[in-house]
């Protein structure tokens, strides 16, 4: 589904009545190269049937619907920051209709990830646990740091989010761990430590520890510490607004306009796959 540079990107939003949904709708409506065409939410939501942009004080003429096909009828791309069960329902319909996807949902099982991979044979998908440009640059910095600090450094990842977040560690924290482990020739599942309580014994060399904080309205803070004898290196990213996720999602939409199928991440979108690599 190639888009002419003279045509706006026709975009539907899942989870349209939520905080992230509102941020995405506002970003799409403000973008000169985008057109807001559909709004999805779950059955039973009290805002079904209302204008999706009413919160902005300037209705868009797009009603929030639980009918997935109706919400996607005019869309080229669905942006989905919901929950795994909802995203998988959207995925099946998008695959059937040929609608591309930008997926920011986290907490997928391995089986669900395999379904997304399979769907990408028919539609183009950008999936990333964090769409923020800054976070993805941070991931690249972590890849470089992990390569250089691959011996003698203990690695700890701390993340903090608002009290309403339902999964832990965050998808971004897990992605950080995966990037670090991969850069060191390992798999995260073989070295991750997610819990510490009671008499744990000494730290296991080579492990990657995770700590989770939930409270208030924290949008998202992530810090990775590389600690050794005599020094400590910390790489931190802090989000103060969800608008960064929305703007990154729009960059992903523009990237997808040049793709027919395949599963991509934000490194692909931002051209970071080769950055920093030696020829």
Active-site annotation, residues: 161, 165
Asked if 234 and 220 count as a contact pair (C-beta separation under 8 A), the reply is no
The string of DSSP letters for 222-235 reads EEEEEEETTEEEEE
DSSP strands (E only) in the chain: 9-14, 34-40, 64-65, 77-80, 100-103, 124-127, 154-161, 192-193, 208-214, 220-228, 231-239, 262-264
Reported as half-sphere exposure (CB side, CA atoms, 13 A), residue 277 has a value of 7
**How far is 251 from 195, CA to CA, in rounded Å?**
36
Record the tokens describing residue 221, joined without a space. 């803070």
* Strand positions, DSSP E, 18-137: 34-40, 64-65, 77-80, 100-103, 124-127
What is the CB-side half-sphere exposure of residue 229 using CA atoms within 13 A? 2
Taking the mean position of all CA atoms in its chain, how far away is CA 86? 15
Question: Among 159, 160, 146, which Cα is nearest to 206's?
Answer: 146
Nearest to 123 by CA among 268, 270, 263: 263
Do 78 and 90 meet the contact criterion of CB atoms below 8 Å apart? yes
CA distance 103 to 80: 5
């Amino acid at each position: 589904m190639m888009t002419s540079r003279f045509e706006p990107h026709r975009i539907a939003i899942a989870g349209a009545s939520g905080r992230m949904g509102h941020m995405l709708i506002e970003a799409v409506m403000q973008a000169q190269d985008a057109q807001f065409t559909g709004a999805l939410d779950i059955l039973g939501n009290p805002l079904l049937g209302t204008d999706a942009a009413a919160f902005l004080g300037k209705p868009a003429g797009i009603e929030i619907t639980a009918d997935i096909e109706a919400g996607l009828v005019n869309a080229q791309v669905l942006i989905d920051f919901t929950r795994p069960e909802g995203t998988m329902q959207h995925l099946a319909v998008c695959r059937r209709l040929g609608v591309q996807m930008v997926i920011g949902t986290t907490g997928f099982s391995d089986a669900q990830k395999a379904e997304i991979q399979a769907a990408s044979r028919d539609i183009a998908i950008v999936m990333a646990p964090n769409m923020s440009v800054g976070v993805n640059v941070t991931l690249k910095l972590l890849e470089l740091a992990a390569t250089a600090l691959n011996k003698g450094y203990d690695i700890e990842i701390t993340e903090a989010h608002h009290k309403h977040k339902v999964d832990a560690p965050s998808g971004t924290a897990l992605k950080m761990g995966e990037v670090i482990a991969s850069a060191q020739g390992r798999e995260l599942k073989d070295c991750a430590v997610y819990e510490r309580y009671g008499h744990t014994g000494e730290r296991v060399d080579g492990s990657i520890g995770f700590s989770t904080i939930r409270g208030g309205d924290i949008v998202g803070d992530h810090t990775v510490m590389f600690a050794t004898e005599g020094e400590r290196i910390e790489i931190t990213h802090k989000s103060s607004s969800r608008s960064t996720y929305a703007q990154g999602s729009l960059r992903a939409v523009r990237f997808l306009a040049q793709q027919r199928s395949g599963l991509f991440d934000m490194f692909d979108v931002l051209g970071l796959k080769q950055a920093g690599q030696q020829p």
